[in-house]
A and B are shown apart, each in its own frame.
Chain A
Amino acid sequence: MIEFHLDARSGVAPYLQIVGQVRQALLLGLLAEGDKLPTVKEVVARLAINPNTVSKAYRELEHLGLAAAKPGVGTFVTRSLGQASLLEHGPLQQELRGWLAKARTAGLTEPGIEAMFQSTFRESAEEER
Chain B
Amino acid sequence: MSAVLRAHALGKRYGRRQALAECTLEIPPGHVVGLVGPNGAGKTTLLKLACGMLAPSAGRIEVLGEAPAAGPAQLARVGYVAQDTPTYSGLSVGDHLKLGAKLNPRWDAKAARDRIAQIGLDPKQKAGELSGGQRAQLALTLAVAKRPELLLLDEPVASLDPLARRGFLGQLMESVAEQGTSVILSSHLVSDLERTCDYLVLLVASRVLLAGETEDLIARHHRIVCTRRERTELPTGLKVISAAHTERQSTFIVRGGTEPPVGDWAAERLDLEDLVLTYMERAAEPARRNEPTDLTGAAR
**Chain A residues at the B interface, C-beta cutoff of 8 Å:** 6, 8, 11, 14, 40-41, 44-54, 119, 123, 126
A52 to B271, CA, bound (A): 18
A53 to B171, CA, bound (A): 16
Q: Which residues of B are found within 8 Å of A47, using beta-carbon distances?
A: 170, 195
Q: Which residues of A are found within 8 Å of B170, using beta-carbon distances?
A: 44-48
Q: Which residues of A are found within 8 Å of B167, using beta-carbon distances?
A: 48
The list of the 6 closest CB pairs from A to B, nearest first, reads A48-B169, A44-B173, A51-B177, A45-B174, A48-B170, A49-B195
How far, in Å, is B205 (CB) from chain A's closest CB? 28
List the count of A-B residue pairs having beta carbons below 8 Å apart. 50
Q: Which residues of B are found within 8 Å of A44, using beta-carbon distances?
A: 170, 173-174, 176-177
Instruction: For A40, give the chain B residue with the smallest CB separation.
Output: B177
Chain B contact residues, majority secondary structure = helix
A8 to B196, CA, bound (A): 12
Q: Which residues of A are found within 8 Å of B174, using beta-carbon distances?
A: 41, 44-45
A45 touching B195 by the CB < 8 A rule?
Answer: no
A51 touching B173 by the CB < 8 A rule?
Answer: yes
Interface CB pairs A-B, < 8 A, 18: A8-B195, A41-B178, A44-B170, A44-B177, A45-B170, A45-B171, A45-B177, A47-B195, A48-B167, A48-B169, A48-B172, A48-B173, A49-B173, A50-B197, A51-B173, A53-B198, A54-B177, A126-B260
Does any Cβ of A come within 8 Å of B32's Cβ? yes
* The one of B171, B176, B260 that contacts A51, using a Cβ cutoff of 8 Å: B176
Instruction: For B30, give the chain A residue with the smallest CB separation.
Output: A52
Q: Which of B151-205 contact A (CB under 8 A)?
A: 166-167, 169-174, 176-178, 194-198
Q: Which residues of A are found within 8 Å of B196, using beta-carbon distances?
A: 48-50
